[in-house]
Structure 1
Amino acid sequence: MGKTLGFGVPLLQRLETPGDGTPQALIVVPTRELCVQVTKDLVEAGANLGVTVESIYGGRPYEPQIEALRRGVDIVVGTPGRLLDLAEQRHLVLGKVRSLVLDEADEMLDLGFLPDIERILRMVPDERQTMLFSATMPGPIINLARTFLSQPTHIRAEENDAGAIHERTTQFVYRAHSLDKPELVAKVLQASGRGLTMIFTRTKRTAQKVADELTDRGFAAAAVHGDLGQGAREQALRAFRSSKVDVLVATDVAARGIDVDDVTHVINYQMPEDEKTYVHRIGRTGRAGKTGVAVTLVDWDEMPRWKLISDELGLDQPEPVETYSTSKHLFSDLDIPEGATGRLPLSKRTREGLSAEDAEDLGDKRRERRGSRESGSREGGSREGGSGRAQSRKPRRRTRGGKSADGGSAESADTETPADGEAHTSSSSGSGRSRSRRRTRGGGSGSKPATESHASADGATSGDAPDDGGQRPARRRRRRGGRGRGGPASETAQDNTPQETNTSETSAAAD
């Protein structure tokens, strides 16, 4: 309705040009999309004045914004979070700000930005002009104005008896089932005379789901919600403004301040939270003297909330009529052709679509997937002779009964294995050679030969020292059970039955 130029023109007139590069005016907005829009309007309005306007908001790299501030700007438009970050890092200087604008103050309150706004107000000079714009004036906003504004003047841009809904917007409210909503919306989008259309949902997941569903049905649709990156959100808005897509599915992030020409229809796919959100949603159409159509779909469990909204706004529609995608009154109310189906005919698919709009490169570097990075390093090590972990590990060999499964030794090739009937006692004889650990089944040895362990055990119990260089017959090993663990085979070991499962038992049988 011209609010941006309402505060933008006085700001441009009061600037000192040329300036010294320090911001002279600061405009704080709640959303990134509104920040881009306000910046664009001010750039166009001050094109012949030599004024520099810069947008500061999150979702973009810091470096280009810091570089722009170092070059010098006259007007800064930004969101509270990124403004505070750059101000605390001393990249954004607010000591010479003479004009401060808080746009959509009630929305910033709803988003939890009120503490950030108070911190920003403490950073700017006390002598300044402050303009606060808000569609509604809740208690916290009034307290903010009384605390930080000097002799504030309240200006109401409407008549006292004016309704909250513009008379040029025709409203239709239907009680619809959630499973039938995609089919119903697809037929509403084929109404005669429909231009650009905005569909509002309550959740981000629903917004993306509806956009994908409409794209599959042949409509040129795009989504705007918080789960998308900033580049994707701006791409969707640019495609919608340039009419490359004619259906924009969005959450309430696009319900405030977004100005797009020729929006003829607004569809509330899901009920808004309160009457204020409802007013902002359907206010995207019927703007600047034009007419518009607002369609609201109310599910059965949303009836109490809709009754409150209807009573608060005086709509006199507490009980919406039950409507399905095949209802005759739906076709007559919205002027939908009788033969319309749930899919857009091929002859009417004339929009270029979202892919026709180039996505802006914001300079973000996406991290590679960890799995692909690890597999690439392993492949590089094996192919190029690198010293990777996979290459340094020795192959694991299966053993059975102290011997390898293929009949060879259970140890690696560089370790000598004593022959059957001999007991290797290199550690006792002082050779100092270490042996690799073996993992065996069926009572095999551990980190050192079984004969050595049994010999040390005998020496500990009897106290006798070996008389042949530390080599003596090994003590029979009592097995706890079976060939592995548990079982009746422990009794067999006590009956002196010859077992040839490992070196220690072979030595005992020879003794």
Structure 2
Amino acid sequence: MKKTILTETRFSNLELSDSIIKGLKEAGFIQCSPIQDRALPIALRDRDVAGQAQTGTGKTATFLLATFQRLINDESEKIKNPRALILAPTRELAIQIHKDALALSRYLNLKFALIYGGTDYQKQLDKLKTDVDIIIGTPGRIIDFYRQGAFTLDNIQVSVMDEADRMFDLGFIKDIRFLLRRMPPPEKRLNLLFSATLSYKVTELAYEHMNNPVMVKIETEEVTSKAINQFAFCPANDQKIPLLLGLLKTHQPVRSIVFVNTKRCAEQLDDYLQANGHKVAMLSGDVPQEKRQRLLNDFQENRVTLLIATDVAARGLHIPDVSHVFNYDLPQDVEDYVHRIGRTARFGASGEAISFICEEYAYSMPDIEDYIGEKVPVRAIDQELLIEDVIKPERREPRERVPAHGKRPPRGDKPERDRRPPRPHREHGQPATTAPASAPENLPQPETP
């Protein structure tokens, strides 16, 4: 089931120190993934890299190993300030990068500071005031500490921007530029940028703040599409819950994520699944950080095997062994479809992505298929897949919602949104607001059994 896509290149054949190679071997890494094979040799020669690769392809190890080697190569007197800054768009991604960094640097004398908002303010501040080599974190909290004088960026030798496209989506680009402009000039440091897409805005950022970067693109189909079995059903709205329950019973997923578009839908689904015997966790954008981390730990350690999540809540999740992804609601942004199904088939492991083309979001599928460059097969709904004796949950009491800064709390029936700008009109599809109430004529038809 877990056939990992690797190249013939071994880490031991690259210009990595013996201490790094020893840590890699103990972590079980012998051969390079495609992004590592193409980007690492360039970065190890102190050339800047702007890499395009999906999550789960080994890009984290790519920039960590290049960062470690650059700092090891520096024979100058030890500087009591951070020498590398690794920026991530979300807390969860920062936490995962820090975890990987500790594992891969086991035999290196490097110290890390993990910095992100929402918790542990004083603890993080105290850590920064020690002799830290590498800061890993989210832009907002890092800028907060920088302005307090907790550290300086004058001695940065390596800057890393991970998931740069998400940085734009979440509105962090001004913060990114604030930090980059306070580092030494681009030619005096190693600059590494990774993104799921090297769009115009990401490429512009690369050329503005990097030193003539080498563009390395790993196409999605090389590392994920062939490993993911994608298919869909066309249920009526009242069939969605019985169908999901039937699929869970039929497939018996080891660990799965169900994506929805709204918090209201997530709450409803949470109630139904629990009433019907499933132990689930629910993540939406307003879940407090401590509870969020506890739920993710439960999911990673199999105390909970089914996670319901909105796109805002799920960004930056790096959870291994997710066998199934269910698009209970089709995403309204085509890029989110790729992001969602990328939660399964990590490092080339096989997985299944099952989508519901329902009455409400059917208009999204033609644009999704256009974006991914292939048709998603549609299967007929076998009556046996629909659970007939669905247990209805007790009516939940309205949850207390505390307005932030005196503003009216968001209505639960609207899709969760982050701070991304409106998506421009695409020539090949019509805007969502012009979609007909009924399913479009080019809606995929079920395969004949």
| TM above 0.5 | yes
- Rounded to whole Å, the distance in 2 between the matches of 1:182 and 1:42 is 41
Question: What secondary structure is seen at the aligned counterpart in 2 of 1:191?
Answer: helix
1:151 maps to a residue whose letter is N
Q: Distance in 1 between matches of 2:310 and 2:336?
A: 11
| Compared CA separation, residues 301 and 129, structure 1 to 2 (3 A) | same
Which of 197, 200, 225 aligns to 1:139? It is 200
Q: Which residue of 1 aligns with 2:300?
A: 241
Q: Secondary structure at the match of 2:346?
A: coil
SS in 2 for 1:299: coil
Counterpart mapping for 1:154-165 below 5 A = 154-158=215-219, 162=221
Mapped pair 1:219 → 2:278: yes
Could you list the per-position Cα deviations for residues 48-86 of structure 1 after superposition, in whole angstroms to 9, with x for gaps in the alignment?
213222211111142111011112211111111111111
* Matched position secondary structure for 2:324: strand
Taking the TM superposition and a 5 Å limit, the aligned residue runs for 1:451-490 are none
- 1:257 is displaced (CA, Å) by 4.4
**Closer, same or farther: CA 214–271 of 1 in aligned 2, 3 Å:** same
Where structure 1 has 5 or more consecutive residues not aligned to the other structure, the ranges are 332-338, 344-365, 367-511
1:214/1:221 contact within 8 Å kept: yes
In structure 1, C-alpha distance between the alignment counterparts of 2:115 and 2:388, rounded to whole Å = 46
> Would the aligned equivalents of 1:29 and 1:79 in 2 still touch at CA under 8 Å?
yes
Asked if 1:302 is matched to 2:361, the reply is yes
For 1:198, the equivalent position in structure 2 comes to 257
Which of 128, 135, 139 is the aligned partner of 2:189?
128
Amino acid at match of 2:194: F
CA contact (8 A) 2:89 2:316 kept: no
Quote the Cα distance in structure 2 between the aligned partners of 1:340 and 1:3. 45
Find the residue that maps to 1:189 and give its secondary structure: helix
Deviation at 1:278, TM superposition (A): 0.6
Amino acid at match of 1:57: Y
Q: Deviations over 1:192-226 (max 9, x none)?
A: 45210011122233334323332222112112222
Q: Distance in 2 between matches of 1:292 and 1:236?
A: 22
Return the alpha-carbon distance in structure 1 between the equivalents of residues 78 and 237 of structure 2.
57
Residue number in structure 2 paired with 1:14: 70
1:474-498 deviation per Cα after TM superposition (whole angstroms, max 9, x unaligned): xxxxxxxxxxxxxxxxxxxxxxxxx
1:47 to 83, 90, 106: 106
> What is the aligned counterpart of 1:92 among 133, 136, 151?
151
Deviation at 1:255, TM superposition (A): 4.5
CA contact under 8 A between 1:204 and 1:227: conserved in structure 2?
Answer: no
Aligned match of 2:160:
101
Counterpart residue type for residue 94 of structure 2: C
CA-to-aligned-CA distance 1:315-354 (integer Å, 9 cap, x gap)? 3249x5674xx634x47xxxxxxx89647xxxxxxxxxxx
Q: Which consecutive unaligned segments of at least 5 residues does structure 2 have?
A: 1-56, 392-401, 403-449
Counterpart in the other structure of 2:11: none
Identity %: 36
1:87 Cα offset (Å): 1.1
Distance apart, 1:25 and its partner CA: 0.8
- 1:68 equivalent in alignment to 2:124: no
Question: In 2, are the aligned partners of 1:51 and 1:74 still within 8 Å (CA)?
Answer: yes
| AA of the residue aligned to 1:307 | P
Structure 1 counterpart of 2:341: 282
Secondary structure of 1:237's counterpart equals helix
Determine if contact 1:190/1:340 at 8 Å carries over to the other structure: no
Asked whether the 8 Å contact 2:334–2:364 carries over to 1, the reply is no
| Cα drift, residue 313 of structure 1 | 1.9
Q: Distance in 2 between matches of 1:235 and 1:301?
A: 33
Task: Measure, in 1, the Cα distance between the counterparts of 2:276 and 2:342.
Answer: 27
Report 1:56-455 matches (<5 A).
56-126=115-185, 127-158=188-219, 162=221, 166-253=225-312, 255-317=314-376, 320=378, 323=381, 327-328=383-384, 330=385, 342=390
Cα 1:173–1:22 change in 2 (3 A) is same
Once residues 241 and 136 of structure 1 are traced to their aligned partners in structure 2, the CA distance between those partners, rounded to angstroms, is 27
Q: How far 1:2 moved relative to its partner?
A: 1.3
One-letter amino acid matched to 1:12:
F
Aligned to 2:61: 5
Using the size of structure 2 for normalisation, the TM-score is 0.69
Give the alignment's Cα RMSD to 1 decimal: 2.6
CA distance in 2, matches of 1:14, 1:340: 61
Change (3 A) 1:137 1:255: farther
**1-structure distance, mates of 2:272, 2:110:** 45
For residues 332 and 191 of structure 2, the distance between their equivalents in structure 1, rounded to whole angstroms, comes to: 31
TM-score, structure 1 normalization: 0.61
Question: Could you tell me how far apart the structure 2 residues matched to 1:157 and 1:321 are?
Answer: 31
Amino acid across the alignment from 1:154: M
2:368 is paired with a residue whose SS is: helix
Give yes or no for contact 2:332–2:361 (8 Å, CA) kept in 1: no
Q: Distance in 2 between matches of 1:249 and 1:266?
A: 10
State the alpha-carbon separation in 2 of the partners of residues 80 and 278 from structure 1: 26
Could you tell me whether the CA contact under 8 Å between 1:255 and 1:280 is conserved in 2? no
Residue 276 of structure 1 deviates from its aligned partner by 1.5
Contact 2:224–2:345 (CA under 8 A) maintained in structure 1: no
What CA distance in whole angstroms lies between the structure 2 residues aligned with 1:64 and 1:195? 36
Structure 1 SS opposite 2:168? helix
CA distance in 1, matches of 2:372, 2:312: 22
Residue identity matched to 1:310: E
Contact 1:164/1:313 (<8 A) preserved: no
Q: Secondary structure at the match of 1:300?
A: coil
1:398 is matched with none
Tell me the distance in 2 between the aligned counterparts of 1:209 and 1:20.
54
Aligned-partner SS, 1:172: strand
Compare 137-146 and 253-262 and name the one that shifted more: 253-262
Q: Is the 8 A contact 1:28 1:102 kept in 2?
A: yes
AA aligned to 1:129 is: L
Structure 1 position 47, deviation (Å)? 2.0
**Per-residue CA shift, 1:122-158, capped at 9, x if unaligned?**
1211121111101101211111111111111101124
